[in-house]
Amino acid sequence: MKGRFVPKQHLTHSTNPYIHKCCGCIHLRMGSALTCLIWAGISLYFAILSFQSRSPFYSFMDPTGLYIFGAINLILFGVSLGTLILIYLRSPMGMKAASFIINCVVFVLVVDMTVNTILFIVRREAYVSWCSQANAKLLHYALFLNDDPDKISEEDLYNCGRTWEDELKFSVLSTIVMIAVYLYLAISIFSYSVKLRFRIKHEIMGRMRGDMMGGMMLPPGPMSTI
């Protein structure tokens, strides 16, 4: 029935349950807050590891790439905390700006993770060399005990080629999962910002209709006797 009153709690900006609610079952506002908390925790952890020249995905990585990855995560940490405040205040324009910033930071982070994965693939020989040198002492003992050391290569002895393949599989899988999760969480934040603006627009239109109906139903004024 057109024009009927719709309660505020029944308003929805999307019929898709995974857009209307976070993960299809969590209230969008609460889900957005949880998203920011998760992002803040993970980003801070990644930033700390990166600035310690350690990677959560690779055992061997260029320090410059680590610092860039850490800086991006540090920015995402700050943005997540700021978005929490806006969620508490229910600021439509603030959430719109926060959603845009989050989308930009997540996009840069996804690009950086993809580049790091490509660099890890390209620098296979450097990884094998680092892996062998890191175990030079064990290599010395193994060659000393072997009757024919010429048949043993450093890569075969430490299985560096296999460990490189395992790390590559893990990093690619982790990158894909993080991209999927981060993109969905960014969509949830954007959906909440749209929901706030949708409800405000509905309230404004409702007030305008109420004012128009009130003006049409005003009783006529008293007739002048002059």
User: What are the tens digits of pLDDT across the range 147-167?
Assistant: 554 544 444 455 778 888 888
Give the pLDDT of residue 73. Answer: 95
Greater confidence, 206 or 185?
185
DSSP state at residue 26: B
Please name the residues in contact with 80: beta carbons below 8 A apart, sequence gap of 6 or more.
36, 37, 39, 40, 43, 102
- Asked whether residue 47 carries a pLDDT value surpassing 60, the answer given is yes
On whether the CB atoms of residues 158 and 132 are closer than 8 A, the answer is: yes
Would you put residue 152 in left (φ > 0), alpha (ψ -120 to 50) or beta?
Answer: beta
Q: Distance (Å, rounded) from C-alpha 92 to C-alpha 105?
A: 20
Beta bridge partners of 26: 22
Give the pLDDT of residue 193. Answer: 80
Please give the single-letter amino acid code of residue 121: I
- CA-CA-CA-CA torsion for 40, 46, 49, 51, nearest 10 degrees? -80
Q: Distance (Å, rounded) from C-alpha 172 to C-alpha 166?
A: 10
Would you put residue 53 in left (φ > 0), alpha (ψ -120 to 50) or beta?
Answer: left
- Asked whether residue 111 carries a pLDDT value surpassing 50, the answer given is yes
Q: Quick one: tokens of 106? A: 């997540």
- Per-residue pLDDT band for 46 (boundaries 50, 70, 90) equals very high
Q: Where are the beta strands (DSSP E) in 69-201?
A: none
| pTM > 0.75 | no
- Per-residue pLDDT band for 10 (boundaries 50, 70, 90) equals very low
Give the pLDDT of residue 82. Answer: 92
Task: Work out the average pLDDT over 29-38.
Answer: 86
Please give the single-letter amino acid code of residue 218: L
